[in-house]
């Protein structure tokens, strides 16, 4: 006899597990299928979460002490540009928190998985893969699953299949979801590893996000993370990593080519392999169709530069859970999916456009050294710019308003005045 569920979720990490929690709250009989073990390292992922993301996790009943166990709260940013400037700025208060986390994804995913398991109407299966979707006409009516240990297969019936299976979604391919790629030529590639024994940025030794900008069409991000580790990421122009040397070799060459970075990692060593993504493209996919829907990275992907990935996933989960509840109350599914797609785009596109503008300036822009020593330094060390940039990251300011041209002009004027004052003082 074929097992029947209301909803089958393909993928049990952030998107899949949080959707299962939401459906568990609604009493909807749900099956979650995860091909790996939980906990285990996920696919490539940006680990940063800010206060708005933690507020959404609060709403899910997640215990911060659990998912951020032995992870230092990050309370400030440090910005550094070659030997030209170095400046720090605290993270402002937002939703009762003035800190962020560079979470350990293994314990984070495990916390979500365990929370989902608290609901009797939710069944969780690990080491189980979906091999195909079942259709009646154009409507999805179930899945065929394979148990990875035994190789046995079984059919599972359902009202709705949800693809929470990431940027290379099997579900999206199986249902032939329209791929509405956001058109831009500003793609990046990003590679990272976790390190131990990275030296503190300064004598303060508090956890921080250290953003190192280079004139060489890339940036380096250091995030103090769990268990004394530091996530060290290099993101830059795709051609940087498309050379004869491997991306891993290029990653290490970059880290060892700058004195400021070399000082911090001179006694450190990587504790994970170098992992990454090539030519990251922003994508919006079709959100749903007859008997199916997509959620998280399966519906929308973007550059990790702005650290909004987990927030965007949780936002899409809440929207989809609301749509599923309305569907079972009798609402029209195509209309619900049309609203779902629009709402995701309205929430995420403004930040996406700002991120692409930054990529165009900071990674694709080619500037002479004197420009970085003057205009670049004046802007990056301007308090209004720093405050606006960080408030943008914590969603405390609109992407449309975060740093208008008037503030750019003001920053240049202040920079010139500061240089003149320093000259007069000497």
Mean pLDDT value of segment 226-233: 94
**Is the residue at 65 inside a domain?**
no
Tokens, residue 216:
């060489």
Of the ranges 15-29, 254-268, 277-291, 374-388, the best mean pLDDT one: 15-29
Chain segment 327-361, per-residue pLDDT in tens: 999 999 999 999 999 999 999 999 999 999 888 88
Unique residue bearing structure tokens 């179930």: 142
Chain segment 95-147, per-residue pLDDT in tens: 999 999 999 999 999 999 999 999 999 999 999 999 999 999 999 999 999 99
Residues 195 and 215 both lie in one domain? yes
pTM for the structure as a whole = 0.93
Tokens, residue 41:
């390292």
**Is the residue at 250 inside a domain?**
yes
- pLDDT of 371 > 90? The answer is no
Rounded to whole angstroms, the Cα distance separating 285 from 290 reads 15
Residues 326 and 306 both lie in one domain? yes
**Is the residue at 86 inside a domain?**
no
Residue 204's pLDDT is what?
A: 83
Helix H or strand E encompassing 154: strand 153-163
Percent of the chain whose pLDDT exceeds 70: 96
Q: The domain containing residue 246 runs over which residues? A: 188-279
Residues 36 and 127 both lie in one domain? yes
**Is the residue at 308 inside a domain?**
yes
CATH code for the domain in which residue 204 is found: 3.30.9.100
Chain segment 149-188, per-residue pLDDT in tens: 899 999 999 999 999 999 999 999 999 999 886 778 889 9
Helix H or strand E encompassing 55: helix 51-59
Residues 316 and 347 both lie in one domain? yes
Residue 215's pLDDT is what?
A: 66
Bigger pLDDT: 79 or 162? 162
Chain segment 268-327, per-residue pLDDT in tens: 999 999 999 999 889 999 999 999 999 999 999 888 888 999 999 999 999 999 999 999
Rounded to whole angstroms, the Cα distance separating 182 from 184 reads 6
Residues 178 and 213 both lie in one domain? no
Residue 422's pLDDT is what?
A: 61
- pLDDT of 216 > 70? The answer is no
Residues 133 and 10 both lie in one domain? yes
Residues 116 and 157 both lie in one domain? yes
**Is the residue at 78 inside a domain?**
no
Residues 111 and 244 both lie in one domain? no
Mean pLDDT value of segment 252-268: 90
Lowest mean pLDDT among 25-29, 221-225, 417-421: 417-421
What average pLDDT does the chain have? 90
Contacts of 122 (CB under 8 A, 6+ apart): 20, 21, 23, 24, 29, 30, 31, 32, 116
Instruction: Provide the b/e sequence for 154-167 (b: ≥16 CB within 10 Å).
Output: eebebbbbbbbbbb
Bigger pLDDT: 414 or 177? 177
Residues 233 and 113 both lie in one domain? no
């Amino acid at each position: 006899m074929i097992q029947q569920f209301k909803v089958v979720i393909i993928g049990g990490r952030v998107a899949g597990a949080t959707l299962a929690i939401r459906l568990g709250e609604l009493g909807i009989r749900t099956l979650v299928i995860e091909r790996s073990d939980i906990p285990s390292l996920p696919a490539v992922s940006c680990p940063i979460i800010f206060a708005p993301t933690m507020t959404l996790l609060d709403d899910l009943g997640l215990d911060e002490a659990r998912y951020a166990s032995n992870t230092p709260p990050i309370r400030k940013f440090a910005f550094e540009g070659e030997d030209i400037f170095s400046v720090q700025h605290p993270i402002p208060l937002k939703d009762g928190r003035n800190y962020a986390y560079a979470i350990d994804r293994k314990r984070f995913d495990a916390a979500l998985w365990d929370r989902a398991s608290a609901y009797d109407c939710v069944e969780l299966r690990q080491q189980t893969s979906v091999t195909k979707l079942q259709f009646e006409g154009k409507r999805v009516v179930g899945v065929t699953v394979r148990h990875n240990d035994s190789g046995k297969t079984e059919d599972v019936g359902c009202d709705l299949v949800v693809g929470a299976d990431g940027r290379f979604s099997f579900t999206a391919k199986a249902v032939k979801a329209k791929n509405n790629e956001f058109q831009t030529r500003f793609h990046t590639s990003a590679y990272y590893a976790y390190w131990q024994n990275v030296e503190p940025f300064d004598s303060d030794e508090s956890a921080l996000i250290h953003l190192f900008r280079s004139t060489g069409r890339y940036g380096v991000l250091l995030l103090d993370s769990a268990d004394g580790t530091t996530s060290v990421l290099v993101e830059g122009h795709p051609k940087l990593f498309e050379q004869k040397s491997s991306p891993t070799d290029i990653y290490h060459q970059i880290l060892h080519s700058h004195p400021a970075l070399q000082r911090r990692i001179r006694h450190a060593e990587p504790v994970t392999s170098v992992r990454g993504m090539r030519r990251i493209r922003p994508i919006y996919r079709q959100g749903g169709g007859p008997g199916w829907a997509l959620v998280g990275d399966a519906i929308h992907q973007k550059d990790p530069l702005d650290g909004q990935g987990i927030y965007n996933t949780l936002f899409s989960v809440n929207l989809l859970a609301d749509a599923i509840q309305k569907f079972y109350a009798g609402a029209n599914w195509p209309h619900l999916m049309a609203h779902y797609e629009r709402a995701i785009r309205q929430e995420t596109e403004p930040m996406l456009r700002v991120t692409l503008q930054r990529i165009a300036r900071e990674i694709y822009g080619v500037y002479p050294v004197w420009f970085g020593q003057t205009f670049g330094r004046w802007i990056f060390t301007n308090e209004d710019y720093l405050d606006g940039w960080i408030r943008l990251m914590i969603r405390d300011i609109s992407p449309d308003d975060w740093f208008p041209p008037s503030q750019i002009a003001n920053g240049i004027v202040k920079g010139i005045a500061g240089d003149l004052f320093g000259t007069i003082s000497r």
